[in-house]
Amino acid sequence: MVCLANKPVIGITGAYVFHNKFMEGTYVHHDYQKVIAANGGIPIILPFLAENLVEEMIDQCDAILFSGGEDVDPKFYGQDPHQKLGETIPLRDKWEMSLLEKAMEKKKPILAICRGIQLLNAALGGSLIQDIPSNVKNSIQHSQTVNRSWDFHWVTIDEGSKLADILQETKLRVNSLHHQAIDRLAESLKVTAKSSDGIIEAVEHIYYDNFLVGIQWHPESMAATDEKMNKIFAEFIKSAPVR
């Protein structure tokens, strides 16, 4: 276990970006790193590599944040690709599912954001809506056209949920940067927030003995100006005791 300046080490899963044939690799939006550092954590980026490195990577981290990025390959929940399916990286999906399994075995605190909540649900046996506009009648717009730090639509949060306890709210405005969402919910998860069109916006694990929350919006991009969103990360990091 690595301890840096008596602060918890938070592993953030990395997406992939290609600029040109000379410049490509692991990518994480800087808002994830900034919000972890602002709340007393040490952010480290976890690239998707060989699965035999998963346990060693997990052992370097006090908590894991599953970040946003590409669509989850539908083969991992038993479906063929929809016409509107976006870019997928099956290697990342498989690696992150292994990472999730090992993190849960070791009872690490887990926060899953955007793609992260979708990966979480698929890994635990659920399925996804591959394209909301094509598959959900009368859906609201979930892929906003304004700055990602601005709020865009309402969500309603279940009273008594961990998320409601953290935010001290049961209705609030969130940003929105996705075209997929949870469809069939994994049996070990429970829904804790929805948008007005019924799309699942947050989940919690039913019996996990630590912090395990999935969020469909991007609180990391609102946290600098919205203290309620920042509280999510403060609570997440607080649940990762330094050893």
The residues assigned a catalytic role are 114, 218, 220
Partnered with residue 42 across adjacent β-strands are: 9
Residues 133 and 20: their CA atoms lie apart, in Å, by 31
87 contact partners, CB below 8 Å, separation of at least 6: 70, 71
Nearest Cα neighbor of 65 from 128, 116, 15 is 116
Beta carbons of 55 and 101 less than 8 angstroms apart: no
93 contact partners, CB below 8 Å, separation of at least 6: 72, 73, 76, 119, 122
Tokens of residue 171, six digits: 């209705």
In terms of DSSP H, where are the helices of 51-193? 54-59, 90-105, 115-123, 132-135, 162-167
Q: At which residue do the structure tokens 């990518």 appear?
A: 27
